[in-house]
Amino acid sequence: QVQLVESGGGLVQAGGSLRLSCAASGSIFSINAMSWYRQGPGKQRELVATIRSAGSTNYADSVEGRFTISRENAKNTVYLQMNSLKPEDTAVYYCTAYITTTARSSTSYWGQGTQVTVSS
């Protein structure tokens, strides 16, 4: 089994910064990609950022230039550095990873989410 645990969410004023962390653990053979999604009040879940095994990254237009996704492969951990936060960034942020287990089964795994609230 694989588990993903997020941390780092909280309350911050507009213009401030937060750093989210997500650590994967369990019977992992390889991690092909890790991403951050978010879902704001009354909104659909959206993809925020992705980092792939070779290191390439993608960002949603709404966060480009403000957020940075990074990883520490030895720790099976992905980070999301969020700067210049805006009230519209308020959402539950979810970590997800596409993982091949030691049993050679590949699928996406999701964390439970962490709340980010940005006040005006």
Per-residue pLDDT, averaged over 31-45, amounts to 96
Residues near 8 by beta carbon (within 8 Å), at least 6 away in sequence: 18, 19, 20, 21, 114
Look up residue 25 and give its two tokens: 């653990």
* Structure confidence at residue 27 (pLDDT): 95
Q: Give the three-state DSSP class for 75.
A: helix
Q: pLDDT band for 42, please (50, 70, 90 cuts).
A: very high
Q: For residue 77, which amino acid is it?
A: T
HSE (side-chain half, CA atoms, 13 Å) at 114: 20
Per the prediction, the chain carries an average pLDDT of 96
Would you state the pLDDT for residue 101? 96
pLDDT of 44-99, one tens digit each? 999 999 999 999 999 999 999 999 999 998 899 999 999 999 999 999 999 999 99
pLDDT recorded at residue 1 = 87
